[in-house]
Structure 1
């Protein structure tokens, strides 16, 4: 399968961990962690204030990222940077997933949503 041409695909989002993190090993032995990130912020669109909310699944691969993800508990505030791709959720149904390249835990005083 030929690779896709390079293109911009970067998401940076702040939110809270919703639920628990699960970690498994890929068939190749690579550790993979998954958790759900919940985002809530105020945004301005076309000059009008609006509320933005979403939940996005996050996948973290490799020792360094799964080490961070494995210590997460519900409610932990994070800044996650990575790329989005689709994942097969159910037979024939796809969802966007954030593949983390960097996970930064935020202190409780931060208000950068």
Structure 2
């Protein structure tokens, strides 16, 4: 049985997107997504704030480079993965499989 790892998150781009190319020649567009909403937990309202790094790879990365700016509202569908920064601190990253402007 394969374990599920799928996330849909909407929000706004909060830092300018950066286009990079991996050593293998694959384009990656990285941007920070901010999400704010009110959710229900145990019957009570709860404010939710999420800030997550999003990575979009492949040809789609090049296509979105000029489409996304700070403040763009998007919905991202993808999977979560863990990376470590230069100091060895682990972070969750949302790898986009689908990106839609809303």
- The TM-score, its normalising length taken from structure 1, stands at 0.85
Distance 1:45 1:66, change over 3 A: farther
Q: 1:55 aligns with which of 51, 55, 75?
A: 51
Q: 1:40 aligns with which of 30, 36, 39?
A: 36
State the alpha-carbon separation in 1 of the partners of residues 41 and 62 from structure 2. 35
2:79 aligned counterpart, secondary structure = strand
Equivalent pairs counted in the alignment come to 102
**Mapping for residues 70-85 of structure 1, pairs under 5 Å:** 70-85=66-81
Aligned to 1:111: none
State the alpha-carbon separation in 2 of the partners of residues 66 and 84 from structure 1. 21
State the alpha-carbon separation in 2 of the partners of residues 77 and 21 from structure 1. 13
RMSD: 1.3
Unaligned runs of 5+ in 1: 107-113
Runs of 4+ in structure 1 displaced over 6 angstroms?
none
Tell me if the contact between 1:60 and 1:66 (Cα under 8 Å) persists in the aligned partners. Answer: no
Aligned to 2:2: 6
Unaligned runs of 5+ in 2: none
- The TM-score, its normalising length taken from structure 2, stands at 0.94
**Mapping for residues 12-23 of structure 1, pairs under 5 Å:** 12-23=8-19
The answer on 1:102 being equivalent to 2:98 is yes
Tell me if the contact between 1:33 and 1:60 (Cα under 8 Å) persists in the aligned partners. Answer: yes
